[in-house]
Amino acid sequence: MKLLMLGINLSLMLLCYVFTTHQISWLSALFFLSFLSVSPFFFTYWLVPGGFAWRNHHFSSPNLRGPIGWPLLGTLPSMGPLAHRNLATMAASLGATRLMKFSLGATRVIISSHPDTAKEILSGTAFLDRPVKDSARSLMFERAIGFAPSGTYWRHLRRIAASHMFSPRRISRLEPLHQQIVDFMLVQVRLEMETKGFVNLRGILQKGSLTNIIETVFGSCLSSEMADELGLMVKEGYELITMFNLEDHFPLRFLDFNGVKRRCHKLSSKVRSVVGRIVKGRRKALSINGGNDFLAALLTLPKEDQLSDSDMIAVLWEMIFRGVDTVAILLEWIMARMVMHQDIQAKVQEEIDALIDHRSDRCVRDSDIPNLTYLQAVVKEVLRMHPPGPLLSWARLTIHDVHVGKSFIPAGTTAMVNMWAITHDPSIWKDPWTFRPKRFLEDDVSIMGSDLRLAPFGSGRRVCPGKALGLATVQLWLAQLLHHFKWLPVTATEQVDLSETLRLSLEMKKPLTCRVVPQRAQHAA
Ligand code: HEM
């Protein structure tokens, strides 16, 4: 009712303004008056809390608050590189941290910025699907774990991945590969320092991460040209999936405004051809010599579990796609914090040195990580302050009508969790803006999805299946990087730039550059 009154008032004000400031003909006046007579209803149609996409559901959840947003666009203009911050500010200012509704074009969305409602969404069976962007569909992700609808096929894929890609046994068998790659990264770091006088860590981490995931998935049989080609394909895929696409938010599927569709089709044919060739090659070789990688496991599944070639390609492609950036981005944030907080870096190094004699040849191993509690606390604190998926990367979709708290949420609503807002909420975290790893020694918060105050890998049945592998890789590489070098700003006065930009993950806007000094002269690669 309030909104209808507002609409009528706005129309009358407009009417007075036009008649007093313009000389208009009778015909125009008639047209204008008829427009004004319907305008209150037009205003009421989109001037509803949550905006245009909630127009038909406004009365079924009247207590749910949300921004009205722009006509037709809704809150789309706020969804740029700082969407997580914009949405957090909106929710706080509307008193809607538990749950806020908003519109992205014609897409109805809810977002939780509170652990209780986040748990309801992430663990609720009504939220087991994901909304699929057009680009994700054409890049075959609908046939892989991340976007497959939550039925038998998705469960089958998760089971295969849990046994053959992410099991504890398999992660421990990957240690030699992780060590070999970090050794290579240490050589690169030293080389850059010697040749340039500073280190640009992003390139080194990305290359290491790409080699790591390619060898985990395909084994060591790929040529470096093939690996580079896969790297370029992942890069193109990232760009396409991050690009804003009007067609995702309006029923305009037949259009291709910025060429995303065309580029996705081109890329997916390339993926089919390149990954298809790798699969074919391995299938021939497998009878002679097996392997310890994910592809070998897929090719030797019992007959009843086997995937078709096109599904296998989609799953392998997804693993490469998901495994590259997450690890590299998280490590870059951690190293940025280490360069900024020299005292904290020194403490981690002391902890490692206490475990491994400086004079010995031994390097840090996976089995040392449980004893490096301060190092683990540093990783947690970075995940809290710079979660790689501040909006948990991929959203969820309601399969059927459901209630979150007391609010009614209709089927087909996109549901997000603002993990960044939760991890920066002063009512949940003391001094949330201060980098203080010690907080995790005082209060042992699990980051694996059971405690929604800090769930950077999501939670519930769609929780990240790669969390243990990702974490094991990050912790080992971090320990090795800190064991071998002291990391410093490029100049004594230079500040690390912590500006962020949200693409598929939350990245540092400016790549980290720093200097290193060898800690262990005899072993530094
Ligand atoms: C630092 C490392 C990582 C972070 C922070 C991370 C974060 C996430 C998050 C937030 C989700 C959504 C979970 C949800 O909806 O509840 C997710 C899903 C997923 N992640 Fe990760 N991830 C990481 C590493 C990896 C790695 C290394 C892989 C594979 C090689 C991987 C594969 C996946 C897949 C396949 C899904 C979709 C699961 C499904 O829908 O069933 N992730 N990840």
Question: CA quadruple 339, 341, 347, 351: dihedral positive or negative?
Answer: negative
| CA 145 to centroid of ligand 1, rounded, Å | 10
Contact between residue 198 and residue 490 where contact means Cβ atoms under 8 Å apart: yes
Take residue 208 and report the two structure tokens written for it.
């290491």
Domain ranges of the chain: 1-47, 134-518
What is the per-residue pLDDT across 80-107, written as a single tens digit (0 to 9) for each?
999 999 999 999 999 999 999 999 999 9
Per the CB < 8 A criterion, the answer to whether 376 and 383 are in contact is: no
Give, using CA atoms, the residue closest to atom 19 of ligand 1: 464
Going through 318-459 in order, the beta strands assigned E by DSSP cover 396-397, 402-404, 407-409, 414-417
76 with 85: CB under 8 angstroms?
Answer: no
Where do runs of H (alpha helix) occur along 341-406? 342-355, 373-385
pLDDT at 520: 67
Collapsing DSSP to helix, strand or coil, 199 comes out as strand
User: At 367, is the pLDDT very low, low, confident or very high (cuts 50, 70, 90)?
Assistant: very high
Q: Going by CA atoms, what residue is nearest to atom 18 of ligand 1?
A: 464
Residue nearest to atom 20 of ligand 1 (CA): 464
pLDDT bucket at 247, cuts 50 / 70 / 90 = confident
Ligand 1 near 466 CB (within 6 A) = yes
Question: Residue 203: what pLDDT?
Answer: 96
Say how far apart CA 190 and CA 188 lie, in whole Å.
Answer: 5
390 pocket-lining for ligand 1 (C-beta < 6 Å): no
CA atoms within a 13 Å half-sphere pointing along the CA-CB vector of 237: 26
Report pLDDT digits (tens) over 443-454: 999 999 999 999
pLDDT in tens, 38-48: 555 556 666 88
- The per-residue pLDDT for 523 is 47
Amino acid 471: pLDDT:
98
Distance in angstroms (rounded) separating the CA atoms of residues 434 and 296: 46
Q: Which of 457, 478, 505 to mutate to test the pocket of ligand 1 (most atoms within 8 A of CB)?
A: 457
486-521: pLDDT as tens digits: 999 999 888 999 999 999 999 999 999 999 999 865
Residue 19 confidence (pLDDT) above 80 = no
**Residue 3: its pLDDT value, please?**
47
Work out which ligand 1 atom sits closest to the CA atom of 319.
Answer: 30
Which helix (H) or strand (E) segment holds residue 321: the answer is helix 309-340
CA angle (425, 429, 435) in 5-degree steps: 100
pTM of the model: 0.91
| pLDDT confidence tier of residue 522, bands split at 50, 70 and 90 | very low
What's the CA gap between 171 and 474, in Å, rounded?
Answer: 13
DSSP 506: E
Residues 88 and 96: their CA atoms lie apart, in Å, by 9
Q: CATH number for 134-518: choose from 3.10.20.90, 3.90.1580.10, 1.10.630.10, 3.20.20.190.
A: 1.10.630.10
Q: Which atom of ligand 1 is nearest to the CA of 216?
A: 30
- In sequence order, the 6+-apart residues with CB closer than 8 A to the CB of 233 are 267, 270, 271, 274
Nearest to 114 by CA among 148, 132, 88, 143: 88
According to DSSP, the residues that pair with 107 across neighbouring strands are: 104
**C-alpha 76 to ligand 1 mean position (Å):** 25
**Pocket of ligand 1 contains residue 122 by CB under 6 Å:** yes
Instruction: Tell me, using a 6 A CB cutoff, whether residue 470 lines ligand 1.
Output: yes
Query: pLDDT tens, 152-165?
Result: 999 999 999 999 99
Do the Cβ atoms of 525 and 183 come closer than 8 Å? yes
What ligand 1 atom has the least distance to the C-alpha of 165? 30
Mean pLDDT of 321-349: 97
Q: Provide the CA 434 distance to its chain's centre, in angstroms.
A: 23
Contact yes or no for 39/5 (Cβ under 8 A) = no
Distance CA 165, CA 160 (A): 8
- 3-state SS assignment for residue 42: helix
The closest residue, in CA terms, to atom 25 on ligand 1 is 466
User: pLDDT over 70 for what percent of the chain?
Assistant: 89
DSSP codes of every residue in 155-209 = HHHHHHHHHHTS-HHHHHHTHHHHHHHHHHHHHHHHHHHHHHSSEEHHHHHHHHH
Number of the ligand 1 atom closest to the C-alpha atom of 148: 40
- Ligand 1 atom with the smallest distance to the CA of 388 is 5
- Per residue, the 3-state secondary structure of 26-77, as one string, reads HHHHHHHHHHHHHHHHHHHHHCCCCCHHHCCCCCCCCCCECCCCECCCECHH
Q: In angstroms, rounded to a whole number, what is the distance separating the alpha carbons of residues 165 and 466?
A: 8
Q: Is 166 in the pocket of ligand 1 (CB under 6 A)?
A: no
Per-residue pLDDT of 382-402, as tens digits, reads 999 999 999 987 899 999 999
Residue 56: Cβ-neighbour burial (10 angstroms; 0-12, 13-18, 19+): exposed
Given a cut of 90, whether residue 320 has pLDDT beyond it is yes
Hey, whose CA ends up nearest to atom 30 of ligand 1?
Answer: 323
Pairing of strands 107-112, 414-417: parallel
How many whole angstroms from 112 Cα to the centroid of ligand 1?
A: 19
Contact 418, 368 (CB under 8 A): no
Among left, alpha and beta (phi > 0; psi -120 to 50; other), residue 256 is beta
Calculate how far, in angstroms, residue 244's C-alpha sits from the geometric centre of ligand 1.
22
- Is 363 annotated in a binding site? The answer is no
